[in-house]
Amino acid sequence: MNKSGKNRKEILIQLLLDQNVLDADRDDAAMDLGEEFDDKSVLDTLVQIAQNPKEIEMILNSCGESIGMIWAKQNVFDEKTYRSLSGTARFGVYVVVKSRKPEWIEQYQLEKDNF
């Protein structure tokens, strides 16, 4: 924990949710969350951002990639949530799934043209 008593996960979540933070820092936070954590609070935050059609493409894509990383780590694909994401975020999930869980591409009929 740092001096303020917040752990890294909480700091990254706050960074990602803060619209006043530089886009590049929010994007880095999205990627770090997917690489370092795989719990519900992180996944819920990433999904919340990834469903926002007003979010910038770079962050949508990174949130999608992080969601894909978490699902791959958990060995669980949430099709309903996947279908609810913005097209850019779905593409981010697809890229990760294609490399880490390619069997899901056919199983869930994921097509890279449907973004």
- For the chain, how many structural domains are there in total? 1
Q: What is the pLDDT of residues 9-68, one digit of tens each?
A: 999 999 999 999 999 999 999 999 999 999 999 999 999 999 999 999 999 999 999 999
Q: Is residue 39 part of a domain?
A: yes
Answer whether residue 68 is part of any domain. Answer: yes
Which residue segment(s) compose the domain that 74 sits in?
A: 8-107
Residue 31 lies in a domain: yes
Burial 2-26 (b: 16+ CB within 10 A, else e): eeeeeeebeebbebbeeeeeeeeeb
Domain-located, residue 89: yes
Residue 29: inside a domain, yes or no?
A: yes
Residue 63 lies in a domain: yes
pLDDT at 111: 78
Query: Is the pLDDT assigned to residue 88 strictly greater than 80?
Result: yes
Residue 112 lies in a domain: no
Q: Is the confidence at residue 114, as pLDDT, over 70?
A: no
Residue 5 pLDDT > 60: no
